[in-house]
Amino acid sequence: MPAPRFPASRRSAPFGGAAWYRERLRTNLWLVPTVEALLFALLFAATITLDRLAYDGRFSLADWVLSGTADSARQILTTIAAALITVVGLVFSITIVALTLASTQFGPRMLRTFIRDRGTQLTLGTFVATFFYTVLVLVAISPGPHGDFVPHLSITLALGFTVVDLGVLIYFIHHIATMIQLPQVIAVIADDLARAIEAHGGTDQPPSTSADGGPGTEDLLRLVEDLGTVIPTPTTGYLQFLNHDELVRLATAADAVLHLPYRPGHFLVQGQPLAVVWPSAAAPRLAAQLARAQVTGPYRTLTQDVSFGFDQLVEIAIRALSPAVNDTFTALTCIDWLSHCLCRITHGWHPQHAHRDRSGRIRVIAYQADYDRLVQRAFEKIRQCSAGMPAVMIRQLDALCRVMEQTTIPRRRQVLMDQGAMIWRTCEASVPEPADREDVLRRYTTLLALHRAAEALPEAAVEAAAEAAAEAAVAHLGPPHA
């Protein structure tokens, strides 16, 4: 059954700057605690105002509000603050242990998944904010014209927040125990990857019907290649983000065309081509403005780099297959989720390459990872590490069958068959047991049967031909190492 087409409203999301900034704000441990501390400070300002009004006799507090002397209030608040700061240290320690475990067992690139976890951030924020609120209330106790000023309402709320924090602590322990389980980590990474695939599932904008639509993609690529000027990369690092909307605006203002030969996720060395501009006269102006439309950093992100999600799952599988770990079942789990993500890109998924201005003229030609390369990323490294392991080969062939059932484009089916053939050749060369080879052969035969049955179906021929033509039109946009 073909996968549903992705809604148009999600397609352009990753190409704007909002998605990048949201991702950067989410991937840290300071933002949520800071926001919660500020909110609790505002709450303190409100409660202390009510306490002042009650102290002046302007209204009476409710019966459930605690009462007592200034000394007893200080003692209670001091005890709460000491307990909270101790628990904050415990929560931070548990978080660091979880991050260390993730780095050693799952790989350093998995740390991003744990750092951006909302449960951990909210737990840290809740305890820090409660401690901050308690200290503010403690400082507010002071002498007054009618005796010592004791903020009874604020103290009552501090005790209430302490009870809430106890529940949050229990939740946090359960959450960490669940989050560090390897199947859960793999499922979270696959879910993030599936959302990134959906967001990147747009197609190239149709050309303008007016006479001023400008040359097509192939003509522009020839002009850029023959007459264009290279803009070098200003800094060394991974290309993390390209603001295509800003690039289109800059190219339109300069009446130029930008060709970006590298996509987010590629490692660029300072001086390496970042973009090629045509005409050459616009190069100096665009070179000075291009810095604010791209981000280069020391690591890869999933914001515009779909292949990074596949690499994360493959990395966990490779670590599991290493002789030091020898955890076959974890590798099988990764293969299952990889097949789920590949099923999301088998039908109707064509990342946008040509970006047009409002008049319909192509202004930016950007490269994105194609289907062939994503399939290779999902299977080849695992196959290379699974020599002599028929269980992994069988699961890979089962995954190929699962993807093959949902693939309607002949060229994409052939890519799957090529992977299946390589797995079978690896089995023949590395598995000595005839019974094991026979098990692998049965799965490979099933894959062949699915391929031949799909080739014989005529009902999807028109749609498959149209999608294959769309792929062929942009297949030459990227470098061979993409």
Amino acid at 369: A
230 CB-side CA count, 13 A? 11
The answer for residues whose C-beta is within 8 angstroms of residue 345's C-beta and 6 or more apart is 197, 201, 371, 374
Its sign, for the CA torsion 262, 264, 266, 272, is positive
Q: What are the Cα distances from residue 114, in Å, to 94, 110, 176? A: 12, 7, 10
Q: What is the pLDDT along the chain (482 residues), one digit of tens a residue?
A: 343 333 333 333 334 456 666 777 777 888 999 999 999 999 999 999 999 999 888 888 888 888 888 999 999 999 999 999 998 888 888 878 877 777 777 777 677 777 788 888 999 999 999 999 999 999 999 887 878 899 999 999 999 999 999 999 999 989 888 888 888 888 988 998 888 888 776 554 555 444 455 677 778 888 878 888 888 888 899 988 888 888 888 888 888 888 888 888 899 998 888 888 988 888 888 887 887 788 888 888 888 888 999 999 999 999 999 888 888 999 999 999 999 999 988 876 777 788 888 888 888 888 878 888 899 999 999 999 999 999 999 999 999 999 999 888 888 999 999 999 999 999 999 999 999 999 999 999 999 999 998 877 654 444 554 455 445 444 444 454 44
Residue 346 tokens read as 């088998």
Question: What's the confidence (pLDDT) of residue 475?
Answer: 47
Give dist(CA 277, CA 131) in Å, integer.
55
Q: Is 348 left (phi over 0), alpha (psi -120 to 50) or beta?
A: left
CB 258 within 8 A of CB 286: yes
Tens of pLDDT, residue by residue over 413-452, are 999 999 999 999 999 999 999 999 999 999 999 999 999 9
Which are the contacts of 477, defined by CB distance < 8 A and separation ≥ 6? 217, 221, 353, 365, 366, 367
Q: Residue 207: its pLDDT value, please?
A: 52
pLDDT at residue 212, rounded to an integer: 56
Beta strands across the sheet bearing 267-268 = 267-268, 237-242, 294-297
Contact status, residue 406 vs residue 3, Cβ threshold 8 Å: yes
Tokens of 443: 């799965």
> Judging by DSSP bridges, how do beta strands 267-268 and 294-297 pair with one another?
unpaired
**CA-based end-to-end distance of the chain:** 30
**Which of helix, strand or coil describes residue 274?**
strand
Predicted pLDDT of residue 474: 45
